[in-house]
Amino acid sequence: MSDTLTGHGATRVVIRPRADHTLADCIRDVYSNRHIAWTLALREIQIRYKQSVVGVAWAVLQPLVTTVVFTLLFGLLAKIPTDGVPYPVFVLSGLLFWQYFSKVVSEASGSLVKNEGIITKVFFPRLILPLVPALSAAVELGISLVILFVLMLIYGVTPTPYVLLLPVLLLFAGLLGYGIGLMLSPINAIYRDVSIALPFFVQIGMYLTPVIYPVSFVPERYQWVFLFNPVAALLDTARAALLGSPFPSLAAYGVLLLWTAFIFTLGFRTFRKLEPAIVDRI
């Protein structure tokens, strides 16, 4: 929506986001401008590794080194049982999807501040910016999955036919992270406390999610708590598809769908409400 202002012989066009845009309208806008999202995602990957000696290999080295550390601490020393699955394979299969989700949340939440120059100079659907980390992180996840499959081959673990569900899991993880990013990114543009506190909560979230341990490791009377953790359902489904572990219950998938719809809707409404104040406060 645009307003034309005149004064002293000059014409100035002020472009504002339409207040009557529905969720469906915004989804169409994002889809129509999907080429911008892909361009920004590729630019993000290029900038991240441009002057790095190792380059994109960092996408593999980081989860691999973390897996080695977790294997030494929790697999060999703490001897956490993993239901017959070799611990390195178990922890890497969960770690990759957790790192994808947490990276989307962290980078999407700071996307408006990071792209301040673009926001103040170019008009396009700003809903695209929190989506960019979901796309760029998906490319890195795809590279890291190659290492997981190699590790599974070394330990003699064969993927199940349900491995074809991985793109669906990636979609849900991306939607969850995108929804949280939609909610936090405009708040972070106004109050920078979000970017300070978020890494702490992401770290806590990893230990509250069965990344380094299976749900069966938790006393049975407390296992119901994981039913309300949507990321736990995603991780357990990924392990079921890759390693043949048990699938979560139907109730867990119901909660996952409800959380995804709720977070995405809340994020959209928060973003649309605060969007007019972004340029002034960023």
**What is the tens place of the pLDDT at every residue in 220-261?**
899 999 999 999 999 999 999 999 999 999 999 999 999 999
The backbone region for 232, taken as left when phi is positive above 0, alpha when psi lies in -120 to 50, beta otherwise, is: alpha
Q: Does 14 score more than 60 pLDDT?
A: no
Cβ neighbours around 165 below 10 Å, total:
16
| Residue 195 domain-assigned (yes or no) | yes
pLDDT tier at 116, thresholds 50, 70, 90:
confident
| Residue 178 domain-assigned (yes or no) | yes
User: Residue-wise over 66-75: b if at least 16 C-beta within 10 A, else e?
Assistant: bbeebbeebb
- Comparing 4-8, 20-24, 35-39, 53-57, the range with the smallest average pLDDT is 4-8
| Residue 104 domain-assigned (yes or no) | yes
Range of the domain at 192: 21-281
> Is the pLDDT higher at 14 or at 114?
114
Residue 221: both structure tokens together:
């009377």
Structure confidence by residue, pLDDT tens digits, 165-214: 999 999 999 999 999 999 999 999 888 888 899 999 999 999 999 999 99
Residue 256: both structure tokens together:
């996952």
| Residue 168 domain-assigned (yes or no) | yes
| Residue 9 domain-assigned (yes or no) | no
Q: How many CA atoms lie within 13 A of 124 on its CB side?
A: 20
Cα 94 to Cα 245: distance, rounded to the nearest angstrom: 12
Residue 271: both structure tokens together:
């973003």
Complete DSSP assignment for 117-153: HHHTT--S-GGGGGGHHHHHHHHHHHHHHHHHHHHHH
Q: Does 40 score more than 60 pLDDT?
A: yes
Cα 256 to Cα 258: distance, rounded to the nearest angstrom: 5
Contacting residues for 267 by C-beta, under 8 A, at least 6 apart? 178, 179, 180, 181, 182, 183
Percentage with pLDDT > 70 across the chain: 88
Q: Which residues pair with 12 in a beta bridge?
A: 5
| Residue 40 domain-assigned (yes or no) | yes
Cα 185 to Cα 128: distance, rounded to the nearest angstrom: 12
DSSP state of 213: S
| Residue 13 domain-assigned (yes or no) | no
| Residue 266 domain-assigned (yes or no) | yes
Is 223 within 8 Å of 217 (Cβ atoms)?
no
Residue 40: both structure tokens together:
């920004």
For the chain, the domain total comes to: 1
Can you give the pTM of this predicted structure?
0.86
pLDDT of residue 275: 81
Residue 174: both structure tokens together:
């991306």
